[in-house]
Every structure is written in C-alpha cells, then in structure tokens.
A and B are shown apart, each in its own frame.
Chain A
Amino acid sequence: MVEDLNWAIGGEAGDGIDSTGKIFAQALSRAGRHVFTSKDFASRIRGGYTAYKIRTSVDQVQSVVDRLDILVALTQRTIDENVDELHEGSAVIYDGERSWEAEIPDEVTGVDVPLKSIAEEAGGAIMRNTVALGAACEITGFDVEYLDEALEKRFGGKGSKIVENNKEAARKGQEYVRENYDVDLGYDLETTDNDYVLLNGNEAIGMGALAAGCRFYAGYPITPATSIMEYLTGRIEDYGGHVVQAEDELSAINMALGAARGGARSMTATSGAGIDLMTETFGLVAQSETPLVIADVQRSGPSTGMPTKQEQGDLNMALYGGHGEIPRFVVAPTSITECFWKTVEAFNLAEKYQTPVFLVSDLAMSVTEQTFPPEAFDMDEVEIDRGKLVDDDEVDEWLDAQGRFRAHAVTEDGISPRAIPGTEEGAHMSTGLEHDELGRRTEDQDERVQQVDKRYRKVETAQEREDWDYREFGDEDADNLVISWGSNEGALAEALDYLEEDVHVISVPYIFPRPDLTEEIEAADEVIVVEANATGQFADLLEHDALTRVKRINKYTGVRFKADELAEEISEQLSAEVPA
C-alpha cells in the first residue's frame, strides 16, 4: 500500500495548471492530509512548460523528492520533463483525443481520458482539468467529496452553477476511469479529522505583517515578492492601513521610510534588481534610526538572472549592501511558519533598535504551499514591542537645557528615544548626514565617533538581549555536522530518512547577528554547509567565525534542494577531502 503520494499536473502556462493544482492540494488538506507543493514555471505568461506538484502524506511532508506517482499531462513536454521520476507504479492521465500522440514509457500506466469531451458534457471545455482531478481521485481511491469542498472554496464566489458543473465534471472523470480501466496501483490515501491550513511563505509574511501591526506597505511588482503586496492589498485596509504601488523601488523604500517616521509599522519587499535600487536608502534608514522592515525574496541572479528560479544568492547584499558601514539585522526564515513568526519579530526588532531589518526569504519558500495546524500561527502568542517610543509625558526626560528633543541621544544601550509627529515638544530633524544628539549636521570628530559607536552599540545590545537561537535535528552526538540557512531546512530534515550516516543538522534563521556555532563546529569531525548559491556565502561566514574550513554543498541550477538528492550529496561529501 502506498500512502505517500506524489502527484503533478503539467502543461503550458495559461492552461490553468496553478489553480487546478491548488484545488487538489486543498482537497487533500481538507481530508486531513499533509501537503507540500512546488511549482515549476518559466518567466512567461502564455506558453512555456509549467507544472504544479504535490506531495501528500498523513505525516508531515516538507520537501519534494525525485518520484512522481500520478501525472496529469496536458502536453507531451510534461511527460518528457518528468520521465525520470516516473516508475512502475506511476500513472499518466492524458487526453488521447487531443492532437498529440502521448509517448508514455512502457512500465508506466497510461490512462487516456477524453478530458475535453467529458468537460463539454458537464458544461464547458474549460473544466477539463477538473475532469482530470476526478480521474486522479479514482486511480488513487481518494474520496471526491473532499474535492467538492475545494471546488466550493475556489468557485463559490462565482455562483452555485459553476460549482455544480465542476462537481459534475469531477464525477464524470471518476466514472470514466472506473468504467474503462481496471487500474489498481495500490494507493491508499488515508484521511484524518485534522483541520489544516494551506499557505505559502509570502502569504505567511503578509499575515505576520498584519498580526504585527504593519499598517503601511509600499512596493513595486517583481517576482517572487509581488504576492506579499497582493496579499496585503485588500486586507490591510481592514486594519486602517494602506498599500501603495510605487513608481519604482527607490520610491517604495522611501515611502515606507516616510510612513515609519510618521510612526506606522511599515514595510517594503522586493527581489533581485529591486533590492539593488533600494540599497541607496539602506544607509539613510540606519543613519536616521528609522525602524523599517525590508523583505528580500531571493531569486536567481545576478542581473535579471532567472527570475522564476530558486537561489539564495543575496546574503552578502543583505549583510554588506550599501556604502559606508550600516548597522542592521538580517533574519532569514527557515520555514513557512517561520516566515510568519520572523516577520513579527522583524517588526519588533526594527522598533526596539530603530534599525533596518532585512527579512531574507527565497523563491522556493514563497511559492510553496504547505499544510499546518492552525495553532502554528497562534495569534495569542504575538507580542508587540514598540521600543523606546515616548509620549507627551515622557518627552521631558529627553529634552536638553534649551528644551530641544534629543532624538539621537547617546545612551548606554545605544538606543535613543523616539518621538513621532504630534508628540508635544518632540519635534526634531533626522538626517542621513552625520549629526549630533539633536539630529543637526556635524563633522565634529568626537560627535562622529559617538554617533557611530552609539548606532553599533544597539547591535551589541541586541546581541546580548535577544535569543539568536537555531533549530537542530538528527543525532546531536553525531560527528557529522550539516549547517544550513533559509528554506533548505525541510529538505534537510527529510534527507535524514534517506541517510545511512548519523548526522547532526543545524538550521540557522539568523544571519546577523547569528548564533555562535564555533563549539559545535570544533566538536564535529565533518562540517558541511548547504546553501542554494554557487560560492557558499554562509559557509564563508562560518569559516570566518570558527577559523576553520568547512565542506560545502552548493546548488545553483535554479531548482530547490530535494530530500533524496541532498542525502546522496551529504554521503558523498562525508567521504570527500576537506578543501585546502
């Protein structure tokens, strides 16, 4: 009996691949099964191969693997692209009436369903993907009623007629397979009573922002960050907030900065080329001590690179981007739930320390939908810390002898008071120029040093006060240590199931400040750092911290890590020489 299923639908962009995949994912989630989705898409709107893959199990799934069990192929290319992952127990659902002659490998079961004709019978050719979903249910023995729920969710807003027609289309697809084929590939998709939510990393970031009190967002469309803006638009208004689609990223980050000066929790997000444009303002945010959250959803670079492909290549940018020396925090969520929690934390850090906080995510996480128990996003756990925001009464403490507000007061912990417009007697200027305690321009050597030290002291304070922890799994006593950051965590966790060697895995969500792993690194015989870039930017940091050489696994094909593939690479590395 096969309980863990890998399903995919593929065709040309514009074929409704995404929404069909999402409907099936939701149906599985409604059935109390865990779901992990991944998308293959090209940077074009119509035409070009695109696929939506789902891995589902009753246990938690957090990675893709090199195996495909059921493939709904709308084009021959779909079969060709996935042929290596098909096996003896696989089935390919296709429409033989279409003008292509499906070439299916011998060991794979071909299930020819006249998708279009059946859809037309049910009310319109547009529902041919729904027919295919019905057929998939029959092959896997999955109850179509769960599909009904997902169809209601998807089409409910368009009227009951459309919902009913789709349900009918699914039933007809199911019946067709039942009547014309006798396939039993041994699937048994167990269902449970669990209620899961299904969401992707960008949705989790948007939700985290709302929960954390973000009221202003400015952005400029760019893959794969745009869906954060799309999520917030239409929802932020419910909380009295607003999203501006700016004319470019220079504007977006400056608008966000303006709103933050106004006292709003404010954010911008971008990727690739957009983060380059924003770099100009990084220093201003830090120098003017403005709390701002800047999200970078990484994609393949440099330049416009591969805009729809995975990479973790911007770490150096987040750490070092901008001229001069810029105190900042860099936080990189390692999972979709962390996309939510780290966003909340980013807003708190930004206000507590009045600095830019870079929230570094990546494409794989931003488009992957995954199931979670809703408690994973327990809103009661959300805490808001606005830092040293002073009100009318507290302002007094921070006035100088002439009654002027010391907005950049030099303090022991490096954190100055913050007064927002409207606070009486709090009026002050802030500037990107070096300034004194009052915010007035200065080139005085002592004042310069005091202010630079003060701004960096905030980071030191944060280093001591905050918990820069990390996640561990595998065997903590193992001699082999694997370290990673960002979205590779899921694949790594699952890779343990395939590995014969004992491995201790550490997944780090904080890049700067980051936990000190020197002891762990020194204690291990073998240290491997896994990241989706060519040069090993995080490995460089760890080598620098621990003054030692580490081995590296780098993938920069544009495709995310897979659990089984990672297991193989780790095994290989463990027996390889340490680089000189």
Chain B
Amino acid sequence: MSSDVRFTDFKSDKQPTWCPGCGDFGTMNGMMKALAETGNDPDNTFVVAGIGCSGKIGTYMHSYALHGVHGRALPVGTGVKMARPDIEVMVAGGDGDGYSIGAGHFVHAVRRNVDMSYVVMDNRIYGLTKGQASPTSRSDFETSTTPEGPKQPPVNPLALALASGASFIAQSFASDALRHQEIVQEAIEHDGFGFVNVFSPCVTFNDVDTYDYFRDNLVDLEEEGHDPTDYEAAKEVILDSDKEYQGVMYQDENSVPYHEKHGVTEDMSEIPDGAPEDAMDLVREFY
C-alpha cells in the first residue's frame, strides 16, 4: 500500500486554526512529506501530540494519533512503540511542552533511545496561553509574565539531548521547506530516538525570533561540511551559542534502539483467547 501513499494522505480534513504565517504550517508539511517519503502510510503510523498551538498538529494530520496532556507526549510514544515495534511512531510538541513541563521525560526518552522521531516546534514562547516566556526564551525577552525578561539563560535543548546520551540530534527551520523535510526524514530513518528541534516562528507573540532573524542568522551544517558522526565536532556546534545552526548535528551510527536491546520484537496486541497454555506453571511456581 505504501508505494502509492502521497503526503496529502496524512492530511486531515480539519482546517488548521493556526495564525496565518505561523511556523507550524511549514513544520507540519515537512513532517507529512517526510512520513510519506519514508514509505509510511496513515494506517501504520502513530502520531502523539503535545499540548500547545504546536500540539494541535495531531488534529490536522491523519493517522492513528493521540493528543494527550501537557508535557507527557514522549511517555505515550514510548508505550506505543513498545507495544507495537511494527508501527512508525512520531511525537510532536512545543518547547514549553517538551522542555518545561516535559523536561524530565525528554531526558529519559533520549537516554532510553526509543525508536521514534521527536519534532519540537520551538518558537521560544508559549503560544497557546498567549505569550508567556518559554524555557528557550532569551534572558531579556519581555513577555506578560516576564516584563523585564526571564533573567535566566535559555535551555539549550540540543545540549540537554547530548548530555543525556542522544543518538540523533538535529535542528531545522520551518520555512526552509526542503531542508526541514530532509532532516525530519533522517530522524525517522534513524534507528533510535530521532530528535529534531525546529525553529517554528510565532508571528503573534514573538517579534524577536522571527523568520527574518532566522533567515539572516541560520548556518547550514551541510554546507559547512560538518560530519555528524564526529562527536567532538557535534559538541562544538551544539555548545556554540553565538550562531543558529540547521542540519544533523550528531548521529551515532551504532545506535541500537531500546526495544531491540530489550528483545522486544512482537506485536503485543496479539494475545490468546484464554490464559496462555502453560499458565498453570505460573501457579506451580508457588508450590
């Protein structure tokens, strides 16, 4: 079936209610194209969405999907993947969802190296709650809850991932459509946790981290000849806070996903009609 899947098959018939110009449009298009391009189809794909403007993506895409509670998308994705190693799992959400309320889960999903892709729409602001500081907001960024700026350094999600032992770290820009799609595709194809932080501008509440800002400042790692398998080089780029990069920063070529390490291969939805045949052994163990 997958051979004739088109990216529009991943589109739902719900019209997005994102503000015109929101970065999430481009982010989503790239994700749908990447899914189709990597041979997936909606019936074999599970998308888990976070809460936020970004999390609405689950509504606008068509596949098996769950839109859960704020910050908990990664554990849900982990559960789906463990139960169904045969299913393509993609998790999506915002910077608040992933690096604030969900930061604990982020660290652990990364170190578990669950075989799924995680796309974070990083607009450096809380969109859905109308413009409060997010963990990636600049320290002098003025918002309704931080009139003089948060006065604390932003989280560097890439460094957080690296420190947690990530096997795939990438960054893309929603409006560089082709590069964004390619990068998400690589995350999907990666055997393990494919993490992509996407610059996805909020045109309503963030007038600093704008399309123009990213266009002017973005450095493409591919053009720079960056070798993502070189850990030291990756470290350097990731810790460089002076520039904004796009591309795959790090990829561990020997990555073994969590379910394989734990010998999980079966579709767990299949169970016998009654107790398993040798179940009485479970009882005899207590003699």
Write the residues of chain A forming the contact surface with B, with a CB cutoff of 8 angstroms: 29-30, 195-199, 203, 207, 210-213, 215-216, 218, 235, 237, 239-242, 244, 246-248, 250-252, 254-266, 280-281, 284, 288, 374, 377, 379-380, 382-384, 402, 404, 420-433, 440-441
- Kindly identify which residue among A240, A421, A424 contacts B87, using a CB–CB cutoff of 8 Å: A421
The minimal Cβ–Cβ distance linking B47 to chain A, given in whole angstroms, is 8
Residues of A within 8 A of B272 (CB): 213, 384
Contacts known (A382-B275, A429-B58); A195 close to B287, Cβ less than 8 A? yes
The answer to whether B275 touches A216, judged by C-beta atoms less than 8 angstroms apart, is no
The minimal Cβ–Cβ distance linking A195 to chain B, given in whole angstroms, is 6
- Give the docked Cα–Cα distance between A211 and B78 (Å): 24
Q: Which residues 186-214 of B sit at the A interface, judged by CB distance below 8 A?
A: none
- Of A379, A382, A429, most B-chain CB atoms within 10 Å: A429
The answer to whether A425 touches B43, judged by C-beta atoms less than 8 angstroms apart, is yes
- Give the docked Cα–Cα distance between A29 and B287 (Å): 8
The answer to whether B269 touches A264, judged by C-beta atoms less than 8 angstroms apart, is yes
Contacts known (A384-B273, A441-B59); A216 close to B82, Cβ less than 8 A? yes
Q: Which interface class (under 10, 10 to 19, 20 to 34, 35 or more) fits B? A: 35 or more
User: Which residue on A lies nearest to B1, using beta carbons?
Assistant: A424
Q: Does more than half of chain B's interface fall in helix, strand or loop, or is it mixed?
A: mixed
A-B contact pairs, 12 of them (CB 8 A): A195-B287, A196-B287, A216-B79, A251-B74, A254-B76, A258-B75, A258-B81, A263-B268, A377-B283, A379-B275, A421-B64, A441-B59
User: Which residue on A lies nearest to B69, using beta carbons?
Assistant: A284
Residues of A within 8 A of B21 (CB): none
The answer to whether B82 touches A259, judged by C-beta atoms less than 8 angstroms apart, is yes
User: Which residue on B lies nearest to A280, using beta carbons?
Assistant: B69
Q: Which residues 254-274 of B sit at the A interface, judged by CB distance below 8 A?
A: 259, 262-269, 271-274
- Give the docked Cα–Cα distance between A196 and B259 (Å): 38
- Give the docked Cα–Cα distance between A244 and B12 (Å): 33
Contacts known (A427-B64, A431-B66, A440-B59); A258 close to B274, Cβ less than 8 A? no
Residues of B within 8 A of A261 (CB): 46, 64, 66, 76, 79-80, 83
The answer to whether A430 touches B268, judged by C-beta atoms less than 8 angstroms apart, is no
The answer to whether A422 touches B84, judged by C-beta atoms less than 8 angstroms apart, is yes
The answer to whether B268 touches A197, judged by C-beta atoms less than 8 angstroms apart, is no
Q: Does more than half of chain A's interface fall in helix, strand or loop, or is it mixed?
A: mixed
The answer to whether B275 touches A211, judged by C-beta atoms less than 8 angstroms apart, is yes
Residues of B within 8 A of A215 (CB): 83, 268-269, 271
- Give the docked Cα–Cα distance between A266 and B275 (Å): 16
The answer to whether A251 touches B268, judged by C-beta atoms less than 8 angstroms apart, is no
For the complex with contacts A211-B282, A281-B69, A427-B64, 4 further pairs of A-B residues with Cβ separation under 8 Å are A198-B286, A244-B78, A421-B87, A422-B44
Residues of B within 8 A of A379 (CB): 274-275, 279-280, 282-283
- Give the docked Cα–Cα distance between A258 and B284 (Å): 33
The answer to whether A432 touches B67, judged by C-beta atoms less than 8 angstroms apart, is yes
The minimal Cβ–Cβ distance linking B41 to chain A, given in whole angstroms, is 9
Residues of A within 8 A of B76 (CB): 254-255, 257-258, 261
Residues of A within 8 A of B176 (CB): none
Closest 10 CB pairs of A and B: A258-B79, A263-B269, A262-B83, A213-B271, A254-B75, A264-B268, A264-B83, A215-B268, A431-B67, A197-B286
Contacts known (A263-B84, A263-B269, A420-B269); A429 close to B65, Cβ less than 8 A? yes
> Does B223 sit within 8 A of A, measured CB to CB?
no
Residues of B within 8 A of A211 (CB): 275-276, 279, 282
The minimal Cβ–Cβ distance linking A430 to chain B, given in whole angstroms, is 5
> Does B180 sit within 8 A of A, measured CB to CB?
no
The answer to whether B80 touches A258, judged by C-beta atoms less than 8 angstroms apart, is yes
- Give the docked Cα–Cα distance between A260 and B12 (Å): 23
- Give the docked Cα–Cα distance between A251 and B276 (Å): 29
Residues of A within 8 A of B43 (CB): 421-427
- Give the docked Cα–Cα distance between A244 and B87 (Å): 19
- Give the docked Cα–Cα distance between A258 and B82 (Å): 9
